[in-house]
Chain A
Amino acid sequence: MSKRKRNSLVMSVLLAILLLTSSVVLAQGNSSQAAAPPAASIDQDIALLRKDLRSQRKQIIAANMNLTGDEAEKFWPIYEQYVNDLVQTNHTKYDLIKQYVQNSGTLTADQADGSVKKWLAVDESVTQLRMKYFPTFRKVLSAQKTALFYQLDRRVQLMIDLQLASQLPLIEP
C-alpha cells in the first residue's frame, strides 16, 4: 500500500473513532440533562462503542505495521492478548463514565475523590501494561517494528482518551 493511501486510511479511521466516541457520549450526556438513562441502555451503548473502537484500532495497526507473513503469525496472538488485558484494565474507566452519566455529572466529595483516584490508577495501569508487554512484542518483532507499534497504539489511545474526556462535563463545585 502506498504511503499516501495508508495516511488516508489512518485519517479516515481516526475520524471514525472521533465520530463514534462523540456520538455515544454526547447521546448519553444529552439524555442525562433530562433524566439519567437506564443502566442497561448505557451498558449496551458502552459495550458497542468499545467493540467498535477495538475493531478500528486493529485496522490502523494492521494497515501501518507492514508485517511479513511470519511476523503476522506471531504478532497477532500477542496483540489479541494485549487488547484483552487492556479491556480488563479499562473496565474501571468505563464504569466510572457510567456512574458519572447516571449521576448527571454531579458527585459528592467522597464519590469525586474515589473517581479521581480510580481514574488515575487506570491510567497508570495502562502504562504498566504497555511496559509489561514490551519484551513480549520484542521477542517476535524487531525493536524498530516494536517501536512503530507502540507509536501507533499510543496515538490511537490518546485520540480515544481525549475524545472521551472532552465529551464529559466538568464536575461542578
Chain B
Amino acid sequence: MKPLNRMLLAIVCVVPMLVTSPGWPQEATPKTSRKAATSTPSARQQNMDEYIKLMRSDVRQQKAEMMGVMMALSATDAAKFWPIYNDYDAELTKLNDQRVANIKEYARTYNQMTDEKADELIKSAMAYQNQRAELLAKTYDRVKEAVGAITAARFVQVEHQLLLIIDLQIASELPVVGQSS
C-alpha cells in the first residue's frame, strides 16, 4: 500500500473518532456523566456548547495537519497556500456555525418533529451544502492562481475527502426522523 493511501486510512480512522458523539450529545450525556444528567437545562446547554466548541477546534486542527501532510508543498508554495487555506477555514467555520445550530435544533425537536420543523431543517441543511460548495469553488480559484491548477486540484481532492468523512460521521450519528432512542 502506498504511504498516501495509508495516510488516508489513518484519516478515515482519526476524524470519525473526533467527530463522534458531539453530533448527538443528549444520548451520550447520561452514560458519561451522572452530574450532567441531573444539572439544569441551561447548565446542560452550556456543557454541550463547550463540548461542541472543543470538538470543532480539535477537528479543525487535525484537518489542517492532515492537509499539510497530504499536500506536501514546497516552502515557496506553502507560503502562498496557507494564508488562503486559513481564510477558507475561517469562512468555513462561520458556515459551520449554521450547521451546528441546525443539528442542535434537530436534537431538540426530533422526538416531536412537526411538518414545519422538518421542512425548515431540511431546507437549512441543503442551503448549507450549497454555500459550502460555493466556498470550495471560490477557494479553488484562489489556490490555482497562487500555486497552479494541479496543486489546486490536489487541494480539492483532499478537502473533498475530509469533508465527506466528517459529513458521513455526523449523518450516521444522528438518529433518523421518527426513530425513538
Cα separation A48 to B140 with both chains bound (whole Å): 33
Which A residue sits closest to B121, measured CB to CB?
Answer: A147
| Given known A64-B176, A134-B122, A148-B176, contact A107–B161 (CB-CB < 8 A) | no
Contact A159 B122 (CB under 8 A): no
Pairwise interchain contact B149-A124, C-beta atoms closer than 8 A = no
Name the one of A119, A147, A152 contacting B113, with C-beta atoms under 8 angstroms.
A147
Quick one: which of A120, A127, A170 contacts B129, CB cutoff 8 A? A127
Q: What is the bound-complex CA distance between A173 and B144, given in angstroms?
A: 12
Q: How large is the interface on B (under 10, 10 to 19, 20 to 34, 35 or more residues)?
A: 35 or more
Q: Is the CB of A170 within 8 A of B122?
A: no
Q: Which residues of B have CB within 8 Å of A158?
A: 164, 167-168, 171
Q: Are B133 and A123 in contact (CB under 8 A)?
A: yes
Question: How does the 8 Å CB contact mask read for A27-48 relative to B, with 1 for contact and 0 for none?
Answer: 0000000000000000000000
CB atoms of A173 and B150 under 8 A apart: yes
Instruction: Evaluate whether A155 and B171 lie within 8 angstroms (CB atoms) in the complex, with A113-B149, A173-B150 already known.
Output: yes
Contact partner of A148 among B140, B156, B172, B177, CB < 8 A?
A: B177
Given contacts A116-B140, A120-B140, A158-B168, contact A144 B115 (CB under 8 A): yes
Q: Is the interface of A mostly helix, strand, loop or mixed?
A: helix
Q: Which of B114, B117, B119, B168 contacts A138 (CB 8 A)?
A: B119
Binary per-residue interface labels of chain A (11-34) against chain B in the complex, 1 for a CB within 8 Å, 0 otherwise = 000000000000000000000000
CB distance B161 to A171 under 8 Å?
no
Q: Is B32's beta carbon under 8 Å from chain A?
A: no
Contact B133 A171 (CB under 8 A): no
Contact between B115 and A143, CB atoms less than 8 A apart = yes
Distance between Cα atoms of A12 and B36 in the complex (Å): 36
> Residues of A contacting B153 with CB < 8 Å?
107, 112-113, 115-116, 171
Q: Are B158 and A170 in contact (CB under 8 A)?
A: yes
Complex Cα–Cα for A109 and B140 (A): 13
In the bound assembly, the distance between CA atoms of A128 and B176 in angstroms comes to 22
Docked pose: A117 CA to B160 CA in angstroms = 13
